[in-house]
Amino acid sequence: MPKSPGKPGAARALSVRLRTAEGRSIASQRWLERQLNDPYVAAARAQGWRSRAAFKLIEMDDKYKLIRHGSRVVDLGAAPGGWSQVAVQRGAAWVVGLDLLPIDPVPGATFLQGDFNDADMPERLRALMGGPADVVLSDMAPNTTGHGATDHIRIVALAELAFEFAQAVLAPGGAFVAKVFQGGSEKDLLAPMKRAFATVRHVKPPASRKESSELYVVATGFRAGSPPQSARDAAAG
């Protein structure tokens, strides 16, 4: 189990430069140099988190108190398991991670290999956890195409599906977190989400790279019992 999270140290004074780029593409070279010089990558490795993304959830949870002791948490697109690690460390009683890929075990978490869009998945999760979820987390992102507009539309569509799933499994007062990208169409999520939740925010945690267009939608105070909201229905209306 990772130790209690601490803030990554200041960026190193001297950046690491790769001696040779032989056999690597320019994009691969830049990605590797960025990884070597990223304090969050080093901190995740030192503290036992499976990915630097763990710090994004830690920072959002520190600010908005999403995960409480005894919570039931569902982690969509959970691989490699970093967000599930955080949920367990923060005292969740049940942590269930879903992914199409297999995930190495995390003590205190249960991983299901499957599609969250399966019709029976909400009922399976409720039965497994002994009740509705208090928090639904989604750090999912589709494979990128390299075309910014296309990639933006695809990740927002994935967030819409996660939002619809969250409404099917959340308890009253529950919270929902999903990754989106800046670009305009993420605003289509806001109207139906504001009807389904008391508070909806766009958040860019410090661990999210400054050059990235990545944002998170953080919704709290789920209004259970109201008709399920859909961004697609809102756009059509």
Give the Cα separation of 132 and 101 in Å (integer): 24
User: Exactly one of 7, 179, 204, 210 is catalytic; which is it?
Assistant: 179
With H, G, I as helix, E, B as strand and everything else as coil, classify residue 187. helix
Q: Indicate if the pLDDT at residue 189 is higher than 70.
A: yes
Contact 138, 182 (CB under 8 A): no
Long-range contacts of 223-227 (CB under 8 A, 24+ apart): 223/172, 223/195, 223/196, 223/197, 223/198, 224/170, 224/171, 224/172, 224/173, 224/174, 225/172, 226/195, 226/196
Q: What angle is formed at CA 57 by the lines to CA 173 and CA 115, rounded to 5 degrees?
A: 75
pLDDT in tens, 205-224: 999 988 778 899 999 999 98
DSSP state of 180: E
Tens digit of pLDDT for each residue in 55-90? 999 999 999 999 999 999 999 999 999 999 999 999
pLDDT digits (tens, 9 = 90+) for 133-168: 999 999 998 776 666 666 777 888 899 999 999 999
179: annotated active-site residue = yes
- Angle, helices 54-64 vs 39-47, to 10°: value is 90
Contacting residues for 20 by C-beta, under 8 A, at least 6 apart: none
Please give the CATH number for the structural domain made up of 51-236: 3.40.50.150
How many CA within 13 A on the CB side of residue 230?
Answer: 8
Residue 112 has pLDDT above 60, yes or no: yes
For residue 139, the 8-state DSSP code is: -
Mean pLDDT score of the chain? 83
Domains of the chain by residue range:
15-47, 51-236
